[in-house]
Structure 1
Amino acid sequence: MERYLVVLIVVIAMVMIPCSSSASLVTFIFGDSLTEVGNNNYLQLSLAKSNYPHYGVDFNGGKATGRFTNGRTIGDIISDKLGISSPPPYLSLSPTDDAILKGVNYASGGAGILNETGLYFIERLSFDDQIKNFEATKQSMKTKIGDEAANKLCNEAVYFIGIGSNDYVNNFLQPFLEDGQQYTHDEFLGLLISTLGEQLTRLHQVGARKMVFHGLGPLGCIPSQRAKSSRGQCLGQVNLWVQQFNSKVKKLIATLNAHLPSSQLIFADTYQAVLDLIENPSAYGFKVSNTSCCNVDTKLGGLCLPNSKLCSNRSDYVFWDAFHPSDAANVVLAEHFFSTIISKSPSPAPQPSH
C-alpha cells in the first residue's frame, strides 16, 4: 500500500477509536510552554515557571499547575477529544510508576530545538533533554513489562511534538544572545533543521513511529513581538522566517518518511489558521487579538505575574499573556489542529530503505 494511505489510515484510527478501547491509546508529548503541564515546577532554579496566580484560574480547581495559560493547553484538549487523560509531567513520575505505560508529557517552558535556546531561564528541558528522558522511560518500561511489550507500546503510541518557537523568541530574536549575532537567518535555519532531523531520527531509533509535528504559528503577531513595533503591528520579517522554517520542516519530514523504516510522520501546518484567528478574531467569537488579557510588562518577561490585572472577560481575548493563547483560543486551535491531522493526505513517498 502506498505510504500516504498508510499514514492517513493511522491518523484516522487515532481519532476514531471507540470510547470502549480509547484507554489503550498512549500518547507522548514533547515541546515547550505551549504544551507544558508542570515539568518546570520540579526544576528548582528554573525562571520559566507559571506555578502562581493567575495561571490556572480557569483550569479544573482554579489553581496553577504549571500550564502557561489560564486553563487548558492544546494537548489537554486533544487528549480529551481522544477520550484519554492528559499525560502527566515526566518529572512528577517515578521510574516504577505504572503511569509511564499510559503516556507522558515531556514538554518544558523555554525549551528549544537547540540546547542553548532559553539559556537565561537557567533550567529547562531542551528537546535533547526530553528525548533523553523518553529514552529513560523506555528503559523503565522494559524493566516493568519486558523488551517485546515495551517495543510494541512505543511503536504503537502517538507522539505529538511542538517545538521551535523559543529558538526564535528566546534565542535568534534576542540581540544580546550569540546565535542572533553569529548566524544569518539562512544559517540559523539550516542549523535548526539539521539538528531537528537528528532529534527525530533519535526518537525513531527509540521506537517512535507515529509522530505529529506541529508547525509554528505567526510569531511576529504575538504580543511580545508586536511590542517591538512602534504601531503595535505584526512583525512581517519574523512571520516570513517562521514560514520558511515550516516549509523546511515539511520537506524534512518527507525525507525522513522516505528513509526511516515504518515511519509515519505528519506535519500539521496551522500557520494560516492561527493568523486568521489573530486577524479576524470576531469570526471566532473574540474581541481582542493584539494584546493579552493579563496586563503584562513585556520588558520584564511578558508573563502574567500575581500583581497583574486581568481583563474583565477572559473569553474575549486570543492571548493570555505576551506569548501564550488563552484557554478559549486553545479550544479553537485544538479543533483546527485536530481537523488538520484527520484531513491531511501526505504525498506518496518511496518505501523506506532497509
Structure 2
Amino acid sequence: MESIINTKILVVMTILALSTGLGSCKIVQFIFGDSLSDVGNNKYLSKSLANANLPWYGIDFGNGMPNGRFTNGRTVADIIGDKMGLPRPPAFLDPSLTEDIILENGVNYASGGGGILNDTGNLFIQKFSLDKQIELFQGTQELIRSKIGAKAAEKFFNGSNYVVALGSNDFINNYLLPVYRDSWTYTDSSFVAYLMDTLGGQLKLLYNLGARQVTVFGLGPMGCIPLQRVLSTTGDCQEKTNNLALSFNRAGQKLVNDLSKSLKNSSIKFGDAYEVVAGVINDPAKFGFNNSDSPCCSFGQIRPALTCIPASTLCEDRSKYVFWDEYHPSDKANEMIANEIIRKLGFLYVNGTNTPPPAPAPTHAHAHAPSPGS
C-alpha cells in the first residue's frame, strides 16, 4: 500500500514539475525593440521623454487605459505572438515580474527611442539601447538559472522565440539629425554598413546566450510617417529616408542569411513588410483605409505634436487611419503588417493544440473618444 501511495505522489510531483518552468515544453518569447514593440518599459523610466503613458494611447486595448504601447491597440509583435499561440511577454520593468512569470510568459525589453546604436535616441534622456536590452536579458538568465538550474535554463532559452525589432530610430533620431556626430561622420552606405556590423555582433551575442529561433524585423517606408511628411517642404514622403530603409532591409536580409548559415542549429529570419506598407500608403482605399498621410491623434493645426496628448483630438474612425500618431502605425495597420510577416515567413501556431485565445483588438474604433477625465 505504501509503495502505491509513494508512486502516486511521484506521479503528481512529475505532473507539477512539467506544468512549471522546471520541465515546461511551453514556448515563450523574448522581445528586443523600440517604441514599435514597447509594452510599458518607458513608463517606468521617470526621466524619459519617449513615453506613451498618456490618453489616448491604448484606447482600443483592454480597458482602454494607457498601457505603455505607442499605439491605440496592439503592436506587431503582440499580433504575431497571438496568432502563433505565444503568451504576451510583460515589460521587463513591470514591478510584478517574477521568475515564474518569466517562465510562463517571457519578457519584453523593448524601449521607446532605443536603437541598435547606443547613442541613438539620447535626446529622449532615458531609453534602453539594444546593448542595454541584451545586458538585461543576461540578468534574466541568471535569475532563471538560479530558479531551475543551469541545464533546465539552457533548454528553456534554447526553445524560446526571439524578436529583434530596431533600426528606425538609428536613422530618424540619430543619422538624420545634424546634432548627432553620425550625421557628418558617415555616408548613407557606410552608416548602413555600421549598423549591420553592430547588429551582427548583437545577434551573435544573443546566439551565444542561447537564442536559436530569432526573427529580425525590417523597416517600413519611414520617410512616409507623418512626422517626416510634415517636416518636408511638399508634404510628400521623403525619398532619402525611404531609400535608407530599403538599404537597411537589403543589408539586413543578407546579414540574416549569412548568420543562419554560420551559426549551428539556428533559425534566423528577416521579416520585411516594406512593400505592403508602401502599397497601403500609396493606395489606402484599396486596403480599407481612407487616410495614410496624417495621424489619427493630432493637436489640430499644431504639427508635429510629437506624441498624442490628452488635449489632442482623435479621428472619427481609427480603423481607417494607417498612422496613430506622428511616428507609429495604428492597430489596424499593425495587424496588416503582422499578417504580411506571418505570410512571408510561414509562422505556425506553436503552443498546444487549441485555437489561439482571442486577442484584445479595437472594439470601439468608430466611437468618439471620451474626455480624459471620464
The answer to whether the superposition gives a TM-score over 0.5 is yes
Q: Distance in 1 between matches of 2:127 and 2:326?
A: 19
User: Displacement of 1:228 after TM fit?
Assistant: 2.2
Q: Distance in 1 between matches of 2:281 and 2:321?
A: 10
Residue 333 of structure 1, aligned match among 330, 337, 341: 337
The within-5 A match list for 1:123-202 is 123-202=126-205
User: Displacement of 1:203 after TM fit?
Assistant: 0.3
User: Displacement of 1:82 after TM fit?
Assistant: 1.9
Q: Provide the residue aligned with 1:53 in structure 2.
A: 55
Residue 205 of structure 1, aligned match among 192, 199, 208: 208
Q: Say whether the 8 Å CA contact 2:78–2:88 is kept in structure 1.
A: yes
TM norm structure 1: 0.87
Q: Distance in 2 between matches of 1:193 and 1:84?
A: 29
The runs of 5 or more residues in structure 1 that have no matched partner are 1-21, 345-354
Q: Provide the residue aligned with 2:368 in structure 1.
A: none
Higher gyration radius (CA): 2
What are the superposed Cα offsets for residues 78-112 of structure 1, whole Å, 9 maximum, x if unpaired?
22212233110011156743111131111000000
Q: Provide the residue aligned with 2:124 in structure 1.
A: 121
Q: Say whether the 8 Å CA contact 2:90–2:97 is kept in structure 1.
A: no
Q: Distance in 2 between matches of 1:299 and 1:232?
A: 12
Q: Provide the residue aligned with 1:233 in structure 2.
A: 236
Q: Say whether the 8 Å CA contact 1:23–1:84 is kept in structure 2.
A: no
User: Displacement of 1:23 after TM fit?
Assistant: 8.2
More divergent stretch after superposition (181-190 vs 239-248): 181-190
Which amino acid counterpart does residue 71 of structure 1 have in structure 2?
A: G
Q: Provide the residue aligned with 1:310 in structure 2.
A: 314
Whether 1:105 aligns to 2:108 is yes
What are the superposed Cα offsets for residues 136-185 of structure 1, whole Å, 9 maximum, x if unpaired?
11111101111111111111111111110000111111122221122211
Q: Say whether the 8 Å CA contact 2:304–2:326 is kept in structure 1.
A: no
Which amino acid counterpart does residue 341 of structure 2 have in structure 1?
A: F
* 1:298 to 1:197, Cα distance in 2 relative to 1, 3 A: farther
Q: Distance in 1 between matches of 2:330 and 2:71?
A: 6
TM norm structure 2: 0.83
The runs of 5 or more residues in structure 2 that have no matched partner are 1-23, 349-374
Residue 64 of structure 2, aligned match among 57, 62, 65: 62
Q: Distance in 1 between matches of 2:240 and 2:334?
A: 25
What are the superposed Cα offsets for residues 104-144 of structure 1, whole Å, 9 maximum, x if unpaired?
11100000000000001110000001101111111111011
Determine helix, strand or coil for the equivalent of 1:115.
coil
Which amino acid counterpart does residue 174 of structure 1 have in structure 2?
A: L
Q: Distance in 1 between matches of 2:307 and 2:260?
A: 38
Moved over 4 A (4+): 93-96, 296-300
Determine helix, strand or coil for the equivalent of 1:63.
coil
Determine helix, strand or coil for the equivalent of 1:306.
coil
Q: Provide the residue aligned with 2:323 in structure 1.
A: 319
What are the superposed Cα offsets for residues 280-325 of structure 1, whole Å, 9 maximum, x if unpaired?
211221100011111145445x211111111111111000001100
More divergent stretch after superposition (328-337 vs 102-111): 328-337
Q: Say whether the 8 Å CA contact 1:96–1:140 is kept in structure 2.
A: no
Which amino acid counterpart does residue 121 of structure 2 have in structure 1?
A: G
